[in-house]
Amino acid sequence: MKHYEVEILDAKTKDKLCFLDKVEPNATIGEIKSMFHRSHPQFYPARQSIRLDPKGKSLKDEDVLQHLPVGTTATFYFRDLGAQISWVTVFLTEYAGPLVIYLMFYFRVPFIYAPKYDFTTSKHWVVHLACMCHSFHYVKRLLETLFVHRFSHGTMPLRNIFKNCTYYWGFAAWMAYYINHPLYTPPIYGEQQVKLALIIFLFCQIGNFSIHIALRNLRPPGSKTRKIPYPTKNPFTWIFLLVSCPNYTYELGSWLGFTLMTQCLPVAFFTMVGFIQMTVWAKGKHRSYLKEFRDYPTLRSPILPFVL
């Protein structure tokens, strides 16, 4: 068996950073990253981007050395991705915040509203219902992060946690401030409006959860395989016939329900911003499905059936 020699150069300065000899032909990029980490302890594997070309795409951890277009002396380029943080950590932090923050406004903790309102409760029953729905939503997200989702990537850049938490925590505070305000005005159409909103909200929460379960079952534990999702026996998954990312469709539906329930402009705003971001993600995911699978169903749209 012929061994390979691997040299790793800095993608920007082209300096020789590392030379590995006697590398097995069936070594993976992941194993090479571990070897590089030994000589450069500050660059743990998660923050290494190894590529064939200084400006090219990152190679995957699973790629095998002998299957790459390199000679027996392989040259790779290294780019530092910056400090990394695990997806699970980011999700838990960004979801725990809104849960706690909303409750602080709900219980009217001091220094938010005028002192005479401290620790009082709202006289509108829709405010109590909204608190339950909002809390349920984020508890569901936390549990899904811990027990349901199977992540493709282990980590993301550290600065994302600041960006994401600002977004989630900021909006949660802004919405909660008005919904739990002593001068809150309940929905115009009263009980009818709130009941309809609750039905939409619950329907979409169940739908969203069904999709998450269906996606989890596509992927065996510990694997990173990608398969086309199809409708299952659960009617909530039949939307896969029309949409590539129904988890986002249901998420939009939940927040539309919450907007209707609270009749609060900041909630509408949050729903719209979330919708824009999810549409961008859905379009990207839809495009990768089309690229990867020749037989991808043509009837599907990224996020809204037939529309978007």
Q: Where do contacts with another protein occur on this chain (CB under 8 A)? A: 12, 79, 82, 178-179, 181, 183-185, 188, 262-266
Looking at this protein, which amino acid is placed at residue 291?
A: K
Least CB distance from residue 82 to another protein, whole Å?
A: 8
Contact 107, 118 (CB under 8 A): no
For another protein, give the closer residue by CB, 44 or 238: 44
Distance CA 242, CA 303 (A): 9
Least CB distance from residue 183 to another protein, whole Å?
A: 4
For another protein, give the closer residue by CB, 265 or 280: 265
- Using only C-alpha atoms, the chain has a radius of gyration, in whole angstroms, of 24
For another protein, give the closer residue by CB, 181 or 283: 181
For another protein, give the closer residue by CB, 178 or 203: 178
Distance CA 105, CA 166 (A): 17
Per DSSP, the three-state class of 107 is coil
Least CB distance from residue 230 to another protein, whole Å?
A: 36
Phi then psi for 77, rounded to 5 degrees?
A: -110, 140
For another protein, give the closer residue by CB, 120 or 185: 185
For another protein, give the closer residue by CB, 79 or 285: 79
For another protein, give the closer residue by CB, 126 or 239: 126
Residue 52 DSSP symbol: S
Least CB distance from residue 263 to another protein, whole Å?
A: 6
Contact 130, 121 (CB under 8 A): no
Burial (Cβ within 10 Å: 0-12, 13-18, ≥19) of residue 168: buried
Least CB distance from residue 171 to another protein, whole Å?
A: 13
Contact 207, 232 (CB under 8 A): no
Contact 226, 302 (CB under 8 A): no
Contact 122, 132 (CB under 8 A): no
Per DSSP, the three-state class of 73 is strand
Least CB distance from residue 79 to another protein, whole Å?
A: 7
Least CB distance from residue 296 to another protein, whole Å?
A: 26
Per DSSP, the three-state class of 22 is strand
Q: Which residue has the tokens 């907007």?
A: 259
Distance CA 133, CA 20 (A): 56
Least CB distance from residue 269 to another protein, whole Å?
A: 9
